[in-house]
Amino acid sequence: MNESPLFVRTYDFLLWLIPQAQKFPRAYRFTLSERIQQLALGFQDSLVAAGKSKAELRRNTLHQADIQLEQLRLWLRFSRDQNLITLRQYEHAVRQLKEVGNLLGAWLKQM
């Protein structure tokens, strides 16, 4: 499970995202930065839970992960609009999240 592309891509994204979010200005550090980090970590937690769940619970857990991923996209876009991350950083995040979303979608289709 931990070697699946979805888990690897998500882990790599977290390694990049957490330090970026921690660089937010003080005014955003305990609101937006914290929210982004919690969503990203919650998404990873949902994936682990889905991987360890029985089939009947797995689909609901994966849907929850999908919701968390969409919320993360929204808050990253807001961060870009507030100039908290650069356009280049935002583009990198969007590419990473698109790949993660595609892998998650493929897993959901298998259910």
Domains: count for the chain: 1
What pLDDT sits at residue 1? 57
User: Band of the pLDDT at 26, cuts 50, 70, 90?
Assistant: very high
The enclosing domain of 93 has a CATH number of 1.20.1440.60
Give the C-alpha separation, 5 to 57, whole Å: 22
The tens digit of pLDDT for each residue in 75-86 reads 999 999 999 999
Mean per-residue pLDDT, 23-29: 94
User: What is the DSSP-derived secondary structure letter of residue 53?
Assistant: S
What's the domain range around 98? 5-110
Structure tokens at 13: 């994204």
Mean pLDDT (whole number) for 81-106: 97
Handedness of CA 6, 101, 17, 32 (dihedral sign): negative
| pTM, entire model | 0.92
CA distances 42 to 39, 45, 48, 68, 91, Å, are 5, 5, 10, 7, 22
In this predicted model, what pLDDT tens digit does every residue of 33-92 receive, in sequence order? 999 999 999 999 999 999 998 888 999 999 999 999 999 999 999 999 999 999 999 999
